[in-house]
Amino acid sequence: MNEVLSKVIDQRQLVSIMNKTKWRELCSLFADQGDASPEVRYKLIYEDKILGFSKVWWNELFDYSVAIEWIDFDPYEHEFRGRLVSDKDIDISSGILEVLHKFNIPYSIEGKYYRVWGYINADSNPEFV
């Protein structure tokens, strides 16, 4: 871990929830799914910016895993059907939960999303499932 990340972790008093092995298992299994992998959004510990949901390159995401504060999984795949018809929502939650349970990855439910926490602090109070 580099000096900048260590400084942020100390300043924000963060505690690691995930280790490198769990991140590797999570990322490699979703990478194997290719286009069938879920859309995610994530927050890095050194940024306030949170991008919208999108498909990710899981191998690249693994490279950032040491700095991921949390990652949200969208339990629905949104199939575009045209401008005049709303998207078709396909429930893919069972596939996401299967991966999380297979590797005993701690997660919480935040709104309608599954959140895997990389770090928490004293102000975070996730209710792990």
- Span 37-60, pLDDT tens digits: 899 999 999 999 998 899 999 999
**Beta carbons within 8 Å of 60's beta carbon, 6+ residues apart:** none
Give residue-wise pLDDT tens across range 20-42.
999 999 999 999 988 788 999 99
Nearest by Cα to 99 from 5, 8, 24, 48: 24
**Beta carbons within 8 Å of 77's beta carbon, 6+ residues apart:** 38, 39, 89, 90, 92
